[in-house]
Structure 1
Amino acid sequence: MQKKLIIFMHIPKTGGTTLNEIFKRSYTENEIYDHVPLEAMSKHFSQLKEEDKKRIKAVSGHHFYGIHDLFSRPYTYFTMMRNPIDRVISLYYFLKTYPGYYEENMRNMSFEEYIDWDSQARNGQIHQICGQNSQLSLEKAKENLKTFEVVGITEMFNESLLLLKDKLGWNDIAYKRKNVTKSRPLLQEVPTEIIKKNKKNNQLDIELYEFAKSDLIKQLSDLKESPN
């Protein structure tokens, strides 16, 4: 039986850059599509010989759920989710100085303006998990999560890594933090009214995050109790 394709759905500002560095160690350059845009990946894959297609073992990137349809083979996903309010704060301060489109548009944009402007700041996590052209729905997201081997939690990064190591057979999970947003305020330093607005804009993300966190805690408990 053909081994499952392992897909890392990288949700921005969840610790995914650090996690991806660990993930990539298990594969050679010809075995993984690492943050290749969908159109370029689809074109490249379609031009491969059948034996070369079988060598592809992994995919990582800021893709939406459904990327597995490109490969027509067994698959499983994993991802990381983050406290939605903290994630949006991190996104704003990261993108504000990100070269190109975001830096040009956000140079003089306040955080309050940003959370209404960028779709990533409004239930961005559940959007990726539901799929690009799917209606946002907690039920749809939970259904899709059934095909995820692990949904890690940024605030429980080390614990999430231990579960990924167990589930995916990783050997080396040592890491140095990558792509950390600097010069951002703490959550408690953001005005209360803006936090309230942020919560309203991310209610579905908050509900899915709590669901995923509860499930992760249960899996970790099961792992601890299982015989070696």
Structure 2
Amino acid sequence: MSQHPIFSIHIPKTGGTTFAEVLARTYGKRVAFAYGREHPRTHPRLKECTHVLDPVAVRSLVDDGIQVVHGHFGAADLAEVEPDPRHWWIWLRDPIERTISHFHFLHDQTGARSKLGRTVASGAMSVGGFAGHAAIRNLQSRQVGGVPIAAFGFVGITEHFAAGLDMLGLKMPGGRRAFANLNATKGTVDRATRAAIAAENIPDLALYSEAVQVFLGRQRDGLSTAAPAFATSGFKRLFTARAKPRHALRERPIAA
């Protein structure tokens, strides 16, 4: 592929839904969403495919001027469409908080599509059992695969969402007042349950710790994300502006 769009990996409950809104308001028709064939927001070209990121469909998107593809896919899905992780973006979240948020999202959901979602919504599964489920355990590590997190073009930390947007030169819809925990009513989880969740997600905890160090190091050094070579001057400006170091990061986590 001669042109290189950005591929933004949306791991559930890491702020990806909020970030999708940022992308939609910033790029309009230049962003395509990939949430599966049944999702109403998935780009029509990707709805026609049996695989989440079919190379032919992605090439057509690029030819149509798409500059960012955002959705539920992982590093393994990018092997054929864009193997260079410098063109990948990802947001990661504290694995304990991500798991709790994911559990409560499914618990409060009506008409869940998946068997796991229906089980959680019925009250038949505890948050501890949810954390140990094969589909949930170390979800972030599995999406990253064996790719070093430092190789990603952008690594965002949900707990520092505003600072991550600053690093990209993007603006939050609604301003900083929008930085509120969307799952504020999820309640408390006792220490023993948190320890059980942590025990099920040791690789994710290690990945998150490394990602935080990568994020803070890039912020400290004022590093920016490289713009795609085919970007317009306006798009390029967004990604070549050097970020100013910030030492007081107090944002609350975005739960979407």
TM-score class, shorter = 0.7 to 0.9
Amino acid at match of 1:127: R
Matched with 1:155 is 159
Q: 2: CA distance between counterparts of 1:47 and 1:62?
A: 16
Distance 1:104 1:174, change over 3 A: closer
Q: 1: CA distance between counterparts of 2:18 and 2:67?
A: 20
SS in 2 for 1:155: helix
Q: 2:93 aligns with which of 77, 82, 93?
A: 82
Matched with 2:47 is 40
SS in 1 for 2:75: coil
TM-score, normalising length: structure 2? 0.68
What are the ranges of 5 or more consecutive residues in structure 1 without an aligned counterpart?
131-139
**Percent of matched pairs sharing the same residue:** 25
Amino acid at match of 1:24: A
Q: 1: CA distance between counterparts of 2:69 and 2:180?
A: 19
Say if 2:23 and 2:31, in contact at 8 Å, map to a contact too.
Answer: no
What are the ranges of 5 or more consecutive residues in structure 2 without an aligned counterpart?
38-45, 223-243, 246-256
Residue 70 of structure 1, CA deviation: 4.7
Query: Does residue 201 in structure 1 map to residue 216 in structure 2?
Result: no
Q: What do residues 147-179 of structure 1 show as CA deviations (whole Å, max 9, x unaligned)? A: 4221111111111111122xxxx4x44443599
- Per residue, is there more helix in 1 or in 2? 1
Q: 2: CA distance between counterparts of 1:195 and 1:82?
A: 15
Q: What do residues 33-65 of structure 1 show as CA deviations (whole Å, max 9, x unaligned)? A: 213427736468736996973523221111111
Matched with 1:110 is 126
TM-score, normalising length: structure 1? 0.75
Residue 24 of structure 1, CA deviation: 2.1
Matched with 2:144 is 129
Matched with 2:5 is 5
Moved more, 102-111 or 5-14: 102-111
Moved more, 156-165 or 51-60: 51-60
Distance 1:4 1:198, change over 3 A: same
Residue 93 of structure 1, CA deviation: 0.6
Distance 1:54 1:184, change over 3 A: same
- After TM superposition, the structure 1 = structure 2 runs for residues 177-216 of structure 1, keeping only pairs within 5 Å, are 180-186=182-188, 190-216=189-215
Q: 2: CA distance between counterparts of 1:78 and 1:65?
A: 10
Residue 180 of structure 1, CA deviation: 2.2
Say if 2:88 and 2:154, in contact at 8 Å, map to a contact too.
Answer: yes
Q: 1: CA distance between counterparts of 2:117 and 2:60?
A: 42
